[in-house]
Amino acid sequence: MHHTVHCDSAEEHVTIKELSKLLPTRKFALPTVLYHARYDNRYFLITSKVPGETAAQLWWGFDDAMKDRYANLIAEACVEVATLTSSKLGTGIDGTKPRNGRFAEALTRKDMPSILANCKMVNLDAQPPFCFFHGGLGPTNVLIDDQKGTISIVDWQAAEYVPREWIGINFARALAMVQDLPIPENYSPNDYATRVWTALQDRGFGNDGSIWLSWKRIAGK
């Protein structure tokens, strides 16, 4: 696996190595970092291949019970990662400020630039500790090994510390979680996100993001 990225937060190899060290008994797999370098402001990362195919490739071939099973594994992975906490909102796993963090973008408007004040406006707890979150845990970044019934998670460049409620909101509002075309007839492109959101609600992530969405839409008016 080889990709060139503009990192949103800590460089991805740092995140992968720290997750491997801090969560040794996690139930999801991570790639192994084989090589990383930065040349002329371009970041290169080579990792081992992880087993399985993406959820995006496999999802529509699963029955409802199997979809719910993997949605629960994904939700459980979110819970495991969220056990890593920090007092610094919107930072990467190494404490660095993100260059273009997704949380900061989602919680600012031109007329309201203060992230902490905006968190209060949308009923997000702006007090530490903040929880670590992948930030782009859509169906292309989850690989399913259907033979073993396990998952792997890749592409950690957008991971950062966020308010706990923000984790559920990402799935409730399908932020970067919508499945690509083609979508089978009678299915919603939000099916993956909705099932993970349901599993997260069972684990205490109950904020559906409706207040945040109304607040954010005002920016477009």
**How long, in residues, is the chain?**
221
Q: Which residue has the higher pLDDT, 180 or 89?
A: 89
Whole-number Å distance between alpha carbons of 43 and 48: 17
Name the fold adopted by 51-220: Aminoglycoside 3'-phosphotransferase; Chain: A, domain 2 (3.90.1200)
Q: Once rounded to an integer, what is the mean pLDDT over residues 59-86? A: 97
pLDDT in tens, 92-111: 999 987 555 689 889 988 88
Question: Confidence class of residue 3 from pLDDT cuts 50, 70 and 90?
Answer: very low
Whole-number Å distance between alpha carbons of 44 and 194: 34
Which pLDDT belongs to residue 102?
86
Contact 176, 170 (CB under 8 A): yes
Share of the chain above pLDDT 70, in %: 92
Structure tokens at 110: 């031109």
Contact 82, 132 (CB under 8 A): yes
Which pLDDT belongs to residue 103?
92
pLDDT in tens, 41-63: 788 889 999 999 999 999 999 99
Whole-number Å distance between alpha carbons of 154 and 121: 33
Which pLDDT belongs to residue 6?
46
Structure tokens at 94: 């190494």
Does residue 187 have a pLDDT over 80? no
- Residue 161, classed as helix, strand or coil, is strand
Which pLDDT belongs to residue 85?
98
So where are the chain's domains?
Answer: 51-220
**What is the Cβ-side half-sphere exposure of residue 35, based on CA atoms within 13 angstroms?**
7
The number of helices, as runs of H, and strands, as runs of E, in the chain is: 8, 9
Question: Confidence class of residue 7 from pLDDT cuts 50, 70 and 90?
Answer: very low
Whole-number Å distance between alpha carbons of 147 and 76: 19
Whole-number Å distance between alpha carbons of 154 and 50: 8
